[in-house]
A = this chain, B = another copy of it.
């Protein structure tokens, strides 16, 4: 991994663990094994680094946990949502086993910490939340077309509620240091489509 990649990697981990404000450029460089003076050779600002962390995290998340649930042929959307909640719980559990902490949602954390203070990061996180809801919505639409869900379901409203619920479960899981809270996502999704 080159120095730029190592900085992205360090920022992804450290900001997930402790937030944006609490992690400084010096610490990022130390973790990445990069000379402090060269940070600005790779990124114009900590904000620019965080934006690239957000974009990469969403690309990876889209291609892994989202693809492994919402893009699976013939898996009903509600089962996919349930599986998604279980996988998020597993990820939180893996993190908790390693660090004793529940770090919560990488996107929600940025949204809560920075939305009132960094308009560029706020807008980018809002887009990602919208893209997440769109993936869930596509999956629900396929079920409506296949006759597995009722025709008059407000798919966009349900998809938005599922993502909001996921974010809220992440807040509660983090506050209670309890990864299993995420497993509740499927039950709520079943209520929302009934």
Contacts and interface: CB of A to CB of B under 8 A. Distances in A.
B102 A157 contact: no
A192 B117 CA distance: 35
Contacts of A171: 108, 111-112, 164, 167-168, 171
A70 B121 CA distance: 36
Contacts of A184: 157, 160-161, 164
Interface stretch (A2-10, A43-51, A122-130, A143-151): A122-130
Contact of A166 (B108, B122, B168): B168
Interface in A36-57: none
A149 to B, nearest CB: 14
The winner among A117, A172, A188, A191 for most chain B CB atoms within 10 A is A172
Interface of A: 17-19, 21-22, 99, 101-104, 108-109, 111-113, 115-117, 122, 125-126, 129, 157, 160-161, 163-172, 174-177, 181, 184, 187-188, 191-192, 194
